[in-house]
Amino acid sequence: MRYISTRGTAPELDFEEAVLTGLARDGGLYVPAEIPRMSPDEIAALAGLSYEEVAFRVMRPFLGDALDDETFRGIIARAYAPFGHAARAPLVQLGPDHFLLELFHGPTLAFKDFAMQLIGQLFQTLLDRNGRRVTIVGATSGDTGSAAIEAFRGLGNVDVFILYPHGRVSEVQRRQMTTPTEDNVHAIAVDGDFDDCQSAVKAMFNDMDFRDAVSLAGVNSINWGRVLAQVVYYFSAATSLGAPHRPVSFTVPTGNFGDIFAGYVARAMGLPIERLVAATNQNDIIHRTLQDGSHRKTGVSPTISPSMDIQVSSNFERVLFDVYDRDGAAVARLMDELRDEGGFDLSQGALSRLQEVFASGRASEEETLASIARTLETATELLCPHSAVGVKVGEEHLADGVPMITLATAHPAKFPDAVEQATGQRPALPPRMADIFERPERVTRLANDLEAIKAHIRGNIRA
Ligand SMILES: *Cc1c(COP(=O)(O)O)cnc(C)c1O
């Protein structure tokens, strides 16, 4: 299986290199040269299998000869063993045609665990085999960093440094990053905001001496391995509701467009998905784009669903590549325009092709709170604010006879303040992590100073 860049000029890579590299050298994102297809019989055969077996059958065709089957099964088994629910991604019913896919039973209570747990085990196996080690550096507004530290803790070939903005993540998110005791994981509280953390990371990737000296690697949401891991639950959910014999639709709380893009890949593989509905909060660039084809950045405004407070949806580039007939030069021109002029307009053809697959909607802060309260009342399900955005928009897109599956992206206890504001109830953490408030924290606080951050990383890798 070959992987090509969305901007058309970076070298083609195999699965292993695409996953270990992350960003392509021409600034683009890696996508498979061809999406493998599954026949209706192969899809029907997934119903009733364990999550791990579905994961193996759905992801296997993307690997080429990177791993033998037994090794890959072992990776999947270790990745999902720490989940707190036997089904891994259970479905619950909200209404006659509306279902909720609970993706928050992983070790850090957000859907990021599905991809990060798999990537951790994949990295370990691929690096071991070649006697290599890497240093992972990432910036987080909360969920990605906690999932990464959890997934890589204790792994022999990887040191992990996560930069988060001091004082601007929730207490649960912070403690998930600061309480693991393994000496290969490091939480760094930066005196700055999320953008400062992100630009420090970008600067390190652009500093070739530093990059080579520490063998820098990235696991942010553009990593192909992360997208691939997320394709699996679209298959497990759809087949448990009757696919491929009947089509389903999905509503996805959307920020960086990674999760919903995984649904697009599932559809391209042959899963009968009628509609993919992107649900945004008031940071609605994706909703606006899907309505009228105008992709324009505005300032980010903070909301009660902070993991969707994004104005550059990196993974959107992957779908653009398709609707521009895989013309890398055309995509590169749009991305230059976005950088230089703050936006671009889609061609009429590209917009109609997007609208054949995607629909969209948005929820204000008040609508999000109302959605949490209403869903508790009508379905006795407590939603996190991100999932509540999804449920509100999902309800607006119900169609007769086509089940709607809305993705629940985080556990309500990860965002207790918003949930309490909406319902008067303070959601409790699952018992297996209730002691997180007692464990000692370990964190290094640093000034927003690139050289100081680099010195700290160099001084703490176990070379
Ligand atoms: C990351 C995240 C999202 C957004 O997912 P994208 O793949 O960035 O679109 C939504 N909800 C939660 C809880 C998240 O952590």
Task: Find, among 450, 458, 446, 442, the residue nearest to 185 by Cα.
Answer: 442
CB burial of 240-276 (b: ≥16 within 10 Å; e: otherwise) equals bbebbeebbbbbbbbbbbbbbbbbbbbbbbbbbbbbb
**Which atom from ligand 1 is nearest to the alpha carbon of 142?**
15
What pLDDT shows up at residue 324? 98
* Ligand 1 binding pocket mutation candidate from 140, 143, 362 (most atoms within 8 A of CB): 143
Give the other-Cβ count within 10 Å of 356's Cβ: 9
Which CATH fold topology does 85-106+224-423 show?
A: Rossmann fold (3.40.50)
d(CA 10, CA 19): 15
53 DSSP assignment: H
d(CA 334, CA 170): 36
428 DSSP assignment: P
6 DSSP assignment: T
d(CA 77, CA 41): 25
d(CA 337, CA 17): 29
CB of 254 within 6 A of ligand 1: the answer is: yes
CB 253 within 8 A of CB 265: no
The string of pLDDT tens digits covering residues 293-323 is 999 988 888 899 988 988 788 899 999 999 9
**Side chain identity at 322, as an amino acid letter?**
D
The structural domains of the chain, with segments of one domain joined by +, span 85-106+224-423
Tell me the longest C-alpha to C-alpha distance in the chain: 60
CB of 409 within 6 A of ligand 1: the answer is: yes
CB of 106 within 6 A of ligand 1: the answer is: no
* Ligand 1 binding pocket mutation candidate from 304, 409, 411 (most atoms within 8 A of CB): 409
Q: Residues for the chain: how many in total?
A: 463
CA of 184 to the centre of ligand 1 (A): 26
CA of 301 to the centre of ligand 1 (A): 16
Would you say residue 39 has pLDDT above 90? yes
Which helix (H) or strand (E) segment holds residue 162: the answer is strand 158-165
* Ligand 1 binding pocket mutation candidate from 307, 372, 406, 419 (most atoms within 8 A of CB): 307
d(CA 347, CA 371): 35
The string of pLDDT tens digits covering residues 46-92 is 999 999 999 999 999 999 999 999 999 999 999 999 999 999 999 99
CB of 257 within 6 A of ligand 1: the answer is: yes
Q: Helix H segments across 309-396? A: 316-323, 328-341, 348-357, 365-379, 385-396
CB of 255 within 6 A of ligand 1: the answer is: yes
**Which atom from ligand 1 is nearest to the alpha carbon of 257?**
9
CA nearest ligand 1 atom 14, residue: 307
CB of 175 within 6 A of ligand 1: the answer is: no
The string of pLDDT tens digits covering residues 130-156 is 899 999 999 988 889 999 999 999 999
To the nearest whole percent, how much of the chain has pLDDT over 70?
100
CB 28 within 8 A of CB 217: no
Average pLDDT of every residue of the chain: 95
CA of 254 to the centre of ligand 1 (A): 6
The string of pLDDT tens digits covering residues 325-334 is 999 999 999 9
The string of pLDDT tens digits covering residues 194-250 is 878 988 988 898 888 998 899 988 888 889 999 999 999 999 999 999 999 999 999
Q: What is the sign, positive or negative, of the torsion defined by CA atoms of 261, 302, 439, 184?
A: positive
Residue 112 annotated in active site = yes
CB 419 within 8 A of CB 426: yes
User: Span 372-392, mean pLDDT?
Assistant: 97
d(CA 195, CA 366): 27
Phi, psi of 431 (to 5 degrees): -50, -35
d(CA 115, CA 118): 5
pTM to 2 decimal places? 0.95
What pLDDT shows up at residue 95? 95
User: Span 409-425, mean pLDDT?
Assistant: 96
CA of 261 to the centre of ligand 1 (A): 12
User: Span 109-118, mean pLDDT?
Assistant: 96
Q: How far is CA 325 from CA 236, 243, 337, in A?
A: 29, 28, 19
CB 188 within 8 A of CB 196: no
Whose tokens are 């652009």? That residue is 206
Both tokens of residue 20? 């270990």
Would you say residue 21 has pLDDT above 80? no
CA of 386 to the centre of ligand 1 (A): 8
* Ligand 1 binding pocket mutation candidate from 100, 108, 111 (most atoms within 8 A of CB): 111
Whose tokens are 């895989």? That residue is 326
User: Span 413-426, mean pLDDT?
Assistant: 95
Decide: helix, strand or coil at residue 37.
coil
CB of 98 within 6 A of ligand 1: the answer is: no
CA of 81 to the centre of ligand 1 (A): 22
What pLDDT shows up at residue 188? 98
CB of 307 within 6 A of ligand 1: the answer is: yes
What pLDDT shows up at residue 91? 97
CB of 173 within 6 A of ligand 1: the answer is: no
**Beta-bridge partner residues of 139:** 163
Confidence class for position 27, pLDDT limits 50, 70, 90: confident
**Beta-bridge partner residues of 294:** 345
Whose tokens are 């204000």? That residue is 364
**Which atom from ligand 1 is nearest to the alpha carbon of 414?**
13
CB 389 within 8 A of CB 305: yes
**Vertex 433 angle, CA 432 and 434, to 5°:** 100
Q: Helix H segments across 179-326? A: 194-206, 208-214, 224-240, 258-268, 285-292, 316-323
Q: Which residues are CB-neighbours of 315 under 8 A, at least 6 positions away? A: 29, 221, 222, 227, 256, 257, 258, 261
Q: How far is CA 451 from CA 186, 201, 239, 455, in A?
A: 17, 12, 51, 6
User: Span 355-360, mean pLDDT?
Assistant: 98
What pLDDT shows up at residue 207? 87
